[in-house]
Structure 1
Amino acid sequence: MKNGTFDLVTWNNDYARRYIASTVLHSLYLVLGVCGNLTAIIIYTTKMNSKHDDRYFIPFLASVDLAGCIVSTTFMLITNNLPYSYPNTAICKLLHFSASGLIIESIFLLFVISVQRYQKICRPFGFQMNLRCKRVVTLLVSLLAVALAFPSIFLYERIEVVHLSTNVTGHGCGPVPNTDTFAAIHRIVFMVFEFISIICMSIFYGCVGYTLMTKLNPARKEPRVNQKSWREKGITNGKKYSLMFMFISLASTLCFFPPWIFILLETNDKTFWIHLSYEETQFFVILRGVFVLNFVINPFIYCFFDSKFRQYAFKYCPWKIKES
């Protein structure tokens, strides 16, 4: 193809078309995530007692999810639509830093919640987080997330990209030259913190699940009516929130596995995305962006497990959906 008929706009649009499925999905994620998390924040802070022991962390988690959804979808939409016409370095650095920080903050918050559920269910007569402790822990989680994400400011910038055949020059958001070692160390540290948090969550929730099961077992020997009453009372007393947060943590972990795999692939092969076919690019880009679902699905899980939240959500829904 001659240089006169192949310019930067053509090159950019050609690759933007490859990402069209991802662009549509992330637009949907943005709408669902903003609406869902805003609803959760408003209801839990104005209509329900958010200082309640079981619900305390939900407004904080929903706030992180809201910010994470906006930042991550914005990052993906700009990358998809302007792969070789990236606006500037400031946007590149800001989006990388914000996305990294919000991802790790979300995982850390889920880890703290798993500790709180373990204390409440497995050690009900031991040390429990009071309100001051929860506030301090939430602040520490935010500070640690900022500290871990801060190096990304020096690792990404608007870089020059040259088309191999036509020498057309474009600009994308990519790694700063000569920072490969620093970037690799940062990725390893980041992933170690994520893996440790997930492993600890699994252990804590394993103990929670075991305790819930062993507490339910004796009820099987009781009459059928008493058994139903005992279980309903147990769920009302907060066990349903343990199940809810277990599902949230599991969903979060599943959302992060595909991106982790692609990070490893990209680290081992710098040209991984260049040699893919149109169909492969569509499919892999969608998988690469599955992590955004971590910021989108939680309001739906709240709605499923928390009947009071569901009642308010349906009551103030603009379509006036009635709860069955």
Structure 2
Amino acid sequence: MSNVSGDSLPDAWNQELSRTLLPTSVFLILCIVVGMVGNSLVIAIYGLKLRGAKERYFIPYLALVDLLAVCETAGFNVSYNFRAVNYDNKELCRWSWFFGYLTSVMSIFLLLVIAIQRYLKICKPFAKQMTLKWKRVAMLCAFVGAFVITAPIPVTYGLDPAYSERFNVTGSACRRLTQENRSLSLVHAIICNVIVAGVVWALIILYTLIGRTIYTQMKQWKTQESSGNAIQMDNMPDETNNSSMSKRNKKTMFKITLMFMLISVIFIVSFSPKVVIFILECLNDRFWDSLPPETRLLVRFFDVIFVINNIANPFVYAFLDVKFSQQLRQIFCDLDYSV
């Protein structure tokens, strides 16, 4: 490094990191494009064309949150990749982290609300269900909860010293603070990890119960069809002769529930690496600074792969929701392809 002056050492280090992280920047830009198009279509179809469908009530709101999340988190992480160790805008850094976390946590909480609603619908059909009023209250609680959890972010995140042994220089990174407000930052990080872990376990438990009920019901239907006899289930009273819901409607409800189950699985898989890296950051304040370039690229990719959670849902709807796929085909068929 003898041919690099002292004043340009931070820039040389930052340029090296930018080149190293270029593949993740390309990945994030693609996510922004896909997320904007996909979530906008979901909002347009479910929010306008399929408006009033009770089974799909939360979908346009989840899509709106995902749209905001992918634009904010992916956009910020692209800028972070190009200014990994020479970030100089303290306020932009703090509030970018805040809004990124706010939209991401809001998306997670909405998945939990949806899981609770599906559990009541499938496993407790005669218990009190979510009315329109309580669905709105649940969304408000999800937003308030997300805001409370992310409120400390402007204090626990900011410009943090980053040191390179190779360049023997100290830069400025936009990340969780390890020097200033260190104790508060660490406590907040632990609380966030615990909450995310709690939501994950809640989703696993709820959808396990839901899946077991659906499996039992489908098994009973298969037996009924093969034997030709009407079967009355003790654990599914709404399947009696007095039920107002037809088998076809029930299957549609099950399919939508399985759709939300898959969405939750995608969330768990895509967010797990982020949680692991979050824990490693808490255990080692110099976690990122100590990574060699080739390892940093791989770890950074796992650090941002959670963005998939905000772009995957439109694909799930397209494959599993017949009404959505029909509306989607109609939109593309109505387009004027003439030049």
Matching of residue 264 in structure 1 with residue 266 in structure 2: no
Task: Find the counterpart in structure 1 of residue 270 from structure 2.
Answer: 255
Aligned match for 1:197, one of 196, 199, 205:
199
Matching of residue 287 in structure 1 with residue 302 in structure 2: yes
Letter in 2 for 1:60: Y
Change (3 A) 1:123 1:272: same
Task: Find the counterpart in structure 2 of residue 113 from structure 1.
Answer: 114
Change (3 A) 1:263 1:223: closer
Task: Find the counterpart in structure 2 of residue 11 from structure 1.
Answer: 13
Change (3 A) 1:180 1:225: same
Q: Secondary structure at the match of 2:173?
A: strand
Task: Find the counterpart in structure 1 of residue 185 from structure 2.
Answer: 183
8 Å contact from structure 2 (residues 162, 289) kept in 1: no
Letter in 2 for 1:134: K
Q: Secondary structure at the match of 1:124?
A: coil
8 Å contact from structure 1 (residues 216, 231) kept in 2: no
Aligned match for 1:234, one of 229, 232, 250:
250
- When structure 1 is superposed on structure 2, of 160-169 and 210-219 the one drifting more is 160-169
Q: Secondary structure at the match of 1:316?
A: helix
Change (3 A) 1:165 1:318: farther
Q: CA deviation at 1:75?
A: 1.8
TM-score, normalising length from structure 1? 0.90
Q: C-alpha distance in 1, partners of 2:215/2:40?
A: 34
4+ runs of 1 displaced by more than 4 Å? 160-169, 224-227, 230-233
- When structure 1 is superposed on structure 2, of 216-225 and 19-28 the one drifting more is 216-225
Task: Find the counterpart in structure 2 of residue 311 from structure 1.
Answer: 326
Q: Secondary structure at the match of 2:84?
A: coil
Task: Find the counterpart in structure 1 of residue 89 from structure 2.
Answer: 88
Q: Which runs of 5+ in 2 are unaligned?
A: 230-245
Q: C-alpha distance in 2, partners of 1:297/1:212?
A: 24
8 Å contact from structure 1 (residues 41, 63) kept in 2: yes
Q: Which runs of 5+ in 1 are unaligned?
A: none
Q: CA deviation at 1:85?
A: 2.6
Map 1:1-324 onto structure 2 (within 5 A): 1-2=1-2, 3-4=4-5, 6-49=8-51, 51-161=52-162, 163-164=164-165, 170-176=171-177, 177-223=179-225, 232-236=248-252, 238-317=253-332
Q: Secondary structure at the match of 1:158?
A: strand
Q: CA deviation at 1:112?
A: 0.7
Q: C-alpha distance in 1, partners of 2:247/2:78?
A: 46
Q: Secondary structure at the match of 2:175?
A: strand
Letter in 1 for 2:39: N
Q: C-alpha distance in 1, partners of 2:186/2:35?
A: 31
TM-score, normalising length from structure 2? 0.86
- When structure 1 is superposed on structure 2, of 200-209 and 27-36 the one drifting more is 200-209
8 Å contact from structure 1 (residues 118, 205) kept in 2: yes
- When structure 1 is superposed on structure 2, of 178-187 and 52-61 the one drifting more is 178-187
Q: C-alpha distance in 2, partners of 1:241/1:87?
A: 47
- When structure 1 is superposed on structure 2, of 309-318 and 11-20 the one drifting more is 309-318
The one-character-per-residue Cα deviations of 1:4-27 (angstroms, maximum 9, x if unpaired) are 284433222111011011111111
Change (3 A) 1:18 1:231: farther
The one-character-per-residue Cα deviations of 1:283-315 (angstroms, maximum 9, x if unpaired) are 111111111111111111111111111121232
Q: C-alpha distance in 1, partners of 2:219/2:164?
A: 66
Q: C-alpha distance in 1, partners of 2:228/2:68?
A: 45
Q: How large is the Cα RMSD of the aligned pairs?
A: 2.4
State the identity as a percent.
30
